[in-house]
Amino acid sequence: MPWITNVQFLNNCLLSLLATEQNGQVIETDEAFKTLLNITTQLRAKKRLVYFIGNGASAAMASHYSADLAKNGKVHTQVLTDLALMTAVSNDINYESVFSEPLQNRIISGDMLVAISSSGNSPNIIKGVKTALSLGATVITLSAMKETNQLRKLGHINFYVATNTYGMSETSHNAILHHWIDLLLGDAK
């Protein structure tokens, strides 16, 4: 695929961004970001935590944006990608519980969970989100692939990109997360 075609495809993916609430109600995209910004600002003021979860490249994004939000946004964050913890939970319990188990012991009402999953159907992500919700946390999701994926029905704000490739999904999710942090820093144009 020529570069310009790839760029145009990415542009179409980003323009397809759809934000919804838990009930499936569509939220205008800028309004969704404004709500996310307000939630984040309140979390920072109350010294609450933002947790990040993801698998594979989404785990790398979780780590990246946890660091950016902590360093630049002055928000207390935690990413659940510690290798020792993940392998211990996977070995002693099961991989499906790799996020839900530590969240069960850490996340509280007033905290936020950001769940990143290209497919939106990863059992460990879904279980982690359900745990966070059961404990009163605000949940933000990022997904792609099938419009009917499980994840985009669970969060308080669900960002969904209409693409069926991992590259475009991950690139779009990076853009979404950067935009959020840029808004928080007042850098978004």
What pLDDT score was predicted for residue 109? 97
* Residue 160 counted as domain residue: yes
pLDDT tier at 188, thresholds 50, 70, 90: low
* Residue 14 counted as domain residue: no
What pLDDT score was predicted for residue 1? 85
Mean pLDDT over the full length of the chain: 96
Give residue-wise pLDDT tens across range 146-160.
999 999 999 999 999
| Domain coverage including residue 147 | 23-185
Kindly state the helix (H) or strand (E) to which residue 68 belongs, with its residue range. helix 57-71
* Residue 12 counted as domain residue: no
The enclosing domain of 164 has a CATH number of: 3.40.50.10490
Give residue-wise pLDDT tens across range 85-104.
999 999 999 999 999 999 99
* Residue 108 counted as domain residue: yes
Of 129, 180, 174, nearest to 152 by C-alpha is 129
pLDDT tier at 110, thresholds 50, 70, 90: very high
Residue 59 has pLDDT above 90, yes or no: yes
Question: What residues does 54 pair with on adjacent strands?
Answer: 116
* Residue 17 counted as domain residue: no
* Residue 90 counted as domain residue: yes
* Residue 72 counted as domain residue: yes
CB atoms within 10 A of CB 20: 18
* Residue 172 counted as domain residue: yes
The structure tokens 């944006």 sit at 65
Long-range contacts of 24-33 (CB under 8 A, 24+ apart): 24/153, 27/157, 32/157, 32/159, 33/179, 33/180, 33/183
Q: What are phi and psi of 103, to 5 degrees?
A: -65, -40
The count of structural domains within the chain is 1
pLDDT tier at 189, thresholds 50, 70, 90: low
Residue 67 has pLDDT above 70, yes or no: yes
The span from the CA of 14 to the CA of 179, in Å, is 12
26 Cβ neighbours under 8 A, 6+ residues apart: 18, 19, 20
